[in-house]
A and B are shown apart, each in its own frame.
Chain A
Amino acid sequence: EAGVVQSPRYKIIEKKQPVAFWCNPISGHNTLYWYLQNLGQGPELLIRYENEEAVDDSQLPKDRFSAERLKGVDSTLKIQPAELGDSAVYLCASSLGLGRGGEQFFGPGTRLTVL
């Protein structure tokens, strides 16, 4: 069974440019998460989807970040415009079932460098 797929794996852009990350969760997983991980720290949740609904986006900087999960499967996270401080690893995870008890499975992440 395929795991969580993310692309691209690496992205280098100049500040003020837009960037988008794509995630394909494990088949059948209703819940999808986007995390940001800075070097030497644990991941921080940006947004959580239950099917196509964003149920927790309280940590998403909505002035420049947006996300969508059309049809409740794939998801895209966008930053526009990117800032130097956005350099980090962006991780996608998914879990089976709605909400609380599910084990999370992570993709390999996208390493973003903003110059």
Chain B
Amino acid sequence: KQEVTQIPAALSVPEGENLVLNCSFTDSAIYNLQWFRQDPGKGLTSLLLIQSSQREQTSGRLNASLDKSSGRSTLYIAASQPGDSATYLCAVKTSYDKVIFGPGTSLSVIP
């Protein structure tokens, strides 16, 4: 059974710092991995989607990497801003068509 974990559960950094969020999964047989952000009381906003054949995806200040063999993905945020404060979730789509979410990392960027 696929399990997805995210460490740390919460992170607080000063504005301007570069940071890395981690996502780990137990079964490497996945079709893709998607990173989302969720603002309080809101739905999820898609940030990046990495297909199983890809190693990384970039969008602006965000870079997501995928290492299937080790069951890990990282989301790198460059030059963090207070507007980046949110909860970040990763989700894997398994080889048996299940979508499993991690519990999220709550990020606070302090001005």
Interface of A toward B, CB cutoff 8 Å: 4, 6, 33, 40-45, 48, 55-56, 91, 93, 99-101, 103-109, 111
Contacts and interface: CB of A to CB of B under 8 A. Distances in A.
24 contacts: A4-B43, A40-B103, A40-B104, A41-B103, A42-B91, A42-B101, A42-B102, A43-B44, A48-B97, A48-B99, A55-B97, A56-B97, A91-B43, A91-B44, A93-B44, A100-B97, A101-B32, A101-B51, A103-B46, A103-B49, A104-B34, A104-B91, A106-B36, A107-B43
Contacts of B89: 42-43
Interface string B78-89: 000000000001
Interface residues of B, number: 23
A63 to B, nearest CB: 22
